């Protein structure tokens, strides 16, 4: 019975090809948008989690903004903290560095987003001031040259990302070349290895498009008005991580006059914050993308109502020769499902193509997993059933005599 209804539905849809195509378009756009957005969210999460795990469990991250922490875990997140300016200062970095429980400290100070080289200027880079041990803390490899050392703290040296090397200099190894930042020249001392992870903790910068300079040079460029985005601190092997976090928290709070307007996050807490941030962003964008699904579903319902009206005589003939209400209902329900499922399959195919393009031509690595495909299939089927049931019921309830009189 269902196979017969399917053949009938496909035949009917083929007779009205352009109508079918435009009706399916809303479903195609909706499914492809939702699958792409969710797969991007999964990809970002995978990349960031990989970098956080790479930091190690003995590294603490100090970030501006207060993350609500209950019973030892991140139970909720204050998103407003991500919009507020940083309250961390160079004094905080110095105070943490002098704690006996900490073996290594590296700040990340935002300087500017503009840098220029032999091949022109870029305005989408991340120029940051930091200490020489940042690359060891991040476990980030240097492909060419070497990171600047403590002895180079007063020198205008720079370590640049692989994309910066290619775009500003047109070569993979521009060590010894000059990069211009805010009117000052910096000698390229090293080039970072390409990174698929791409982010510093919670999506603050891409390694591949970053330029790192010594803290002293960053302070000079900003007239000592440093914007410390975060502080990384490695705890000594013999020290307790919770005690170290408490000491850092109390030390920085003392610098801030007792105000705790920052967060000291362990690895598991940083993972929890990352999961919540990406989850909220993905859900919000997915909700916007799902609007096209609603529009597509309404389009299916409208076209099905028109189809029922146009095929009134056909319905009357089928009922006259013995078709039951359920058979008529199933016929039109299958037709609506064919529209939505067909649109869903095409949408998934388009999302695969978009993801392939993103992987080939960007640093993004979206991940389409089995749960995403199951979600897309479920949404397609649900949309078909929900928005086809009313036209199908209308067709099934038609009086055969009145239907035979209809034109």
Q: What pLDDT score does 218 carry?
A: 92
HEC-encoded secondary structure of the chain: CHHHHHHHHHHHHHHCHHHHHHHHHHHHHHHHHHHHHHHHHHHHHHHHHHHHHHHCCCEEEEEECCCCEECCEECCCCHHHHCCCCCCCHHHHHHHHCCCCEEEEEEEEEEECCEEECCEEECCCEEEEECCCHHHHHCCCEEEECCCCHHHCCCCEEEECHHHHHHHHCCCCCCCCEEEECCEEEEEEEEECCCCCCCCCCCCCCHHHEEEEEHHHHHHHCCCCCEEEEEEEEECCCCCHHHHHHHHHHHHHHHCCCCCCEEEECHHHHHHHHHHHHHHHHHHHHHHHHHHHHHHHHHHHHHHHHHHHHCHHHHHHHHHCCCCHHHHHHHHHHHHHHHHHHHHHHHHHHHHHHHHHHHHHCCCCCCCCHHHHHHHHHHHHHHHHHHHHHHHHHHHCCCHHHHHHCC
Q: Name the phi and psi angles at 203, rounded to 5.
A: 55, 45
Distance CA 270, CA 199 (A): 13
How does pLDDT run across 227-254, given as a tens digit for each residue?
Answer: 898 899 999 988 899 999 999 999 999 9
Higher-scoring residue by pLDDT: 150, 95: 95
- The mean pLDDT of the chain is 84
Distance CA 11, CA 152 (A): 76
How does pLDDT run across 36-80, given as a tens digit for each residue?
Answer: 888 888 888 777 777 777 777 888 989 887 775 555 455 566 666
How does pLDDT run across 254-284, given as a tens digit for each residue?
Answer: 999 998 888 888 888 887 777 777 777 788 8
Q: Name the phi and psi angles at 271, rounded to 5.
A: -65, -40
Give pTM, 2 decimals.
0.75
How does pLDDT run across 294-337, given as a tens digit for each residue?
Answer: 888 888 888 888 888 888 888 788 878 887 888 888 888 888 88
Name the residue ranges covered by the structural domains of the chain.
2-48+277-405, 58-265
Q: What pLDDT score does 63 carry?
A: 86
Report yes or no: 26 and 33 within 8 Å, Cβ to Cβ: no
Calculate the alpha carbon distances from 259 to 65, 94, 253, 255, 263 in Å.
11, 18, 6, 9, 11
Q: What pLDDT score does 379 carry?
A: 87
Distance CA 33, CA 292 (A): 9
């Amino acid at each position: 019975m269902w196979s017969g209804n399917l053949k009938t539905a496909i035949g009917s849809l083929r007779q009205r090809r352009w109508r079918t195509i435009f009706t399916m378009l809303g479903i195609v756009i909706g499914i492809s948008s939702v699958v792409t957005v969710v797969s991007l969210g999964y990809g970002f999460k995978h990349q960031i989690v990989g970098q956080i795990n790479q930091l190690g469990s003995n590294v603490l991250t100090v970030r501006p903004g207060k993350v609500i922490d209950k019973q030892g875990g991140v139970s909720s997140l204050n998103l407003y903290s991500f919009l507020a300016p940083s309250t961390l200062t160079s004094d905080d970095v110095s105070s943490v560095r002098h704690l006996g429980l900490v073996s290594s400290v590296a700040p990340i100070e935002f300087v500017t987003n503009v840098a220029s080289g032999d091949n022109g200027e870029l305005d989408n880079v991340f120029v940051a001031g930091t200490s020489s041990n940042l690359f060891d803390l991040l476990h980030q490899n240097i492909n060419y040259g070497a990171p600047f050392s403590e002895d180079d703290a007063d020198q205008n040296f720079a370590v640049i990302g692989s994309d910066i090397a290619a775009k500003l200099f047109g070569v993979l190894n521009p060590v010894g070349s000059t990069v211009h930042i805010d009117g000052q020249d910096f000698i390229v001392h090293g080039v970072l290895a390409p990174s698929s992870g791409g982010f510093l903790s919670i999506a603050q910068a891409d390694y591949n498009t970053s330029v790192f300079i010594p803290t002293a040079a960053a302070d000079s460029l900003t007239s000592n008005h440093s914007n410390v985005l975060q502080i990384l601190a490695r705890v000594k092997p013999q020290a307790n991580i919770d005690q170290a976090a408490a000491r850092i928290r109390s030390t920085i709070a003392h610098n801030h006059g007792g105000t705790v307007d920052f967060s000291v996050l362990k690895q598991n807490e940083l993972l929890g914050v990352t999961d919540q941030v990406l989850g909220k962003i993905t859900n919000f964008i997915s909700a916007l993308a799902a609007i096209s699904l609603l529009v597509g579903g309404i389009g299916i319902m409208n076209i099905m109502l028109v189809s029922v009206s146009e095929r009134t005589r056909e319905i009357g003939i089928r009922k006259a020769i013995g078709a039951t209400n359920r058979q008529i209902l199933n016929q039109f329900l299958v037709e609506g499902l064919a529209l939505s499922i067909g649109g869903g399959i095409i949408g998934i195919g388009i999302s695969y193509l978009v993801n392939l393009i993103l992987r080939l031509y960007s640093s993004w690595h979206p991940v389409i997993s089995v749960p995403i495909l199951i979600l897309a299939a479920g949404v397609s089927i649900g949309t078909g059933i929900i928005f086809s049931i009313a036209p199908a019921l209308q067709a099934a309830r038609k009086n055969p005599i009145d239907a035979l009189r209809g034109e």
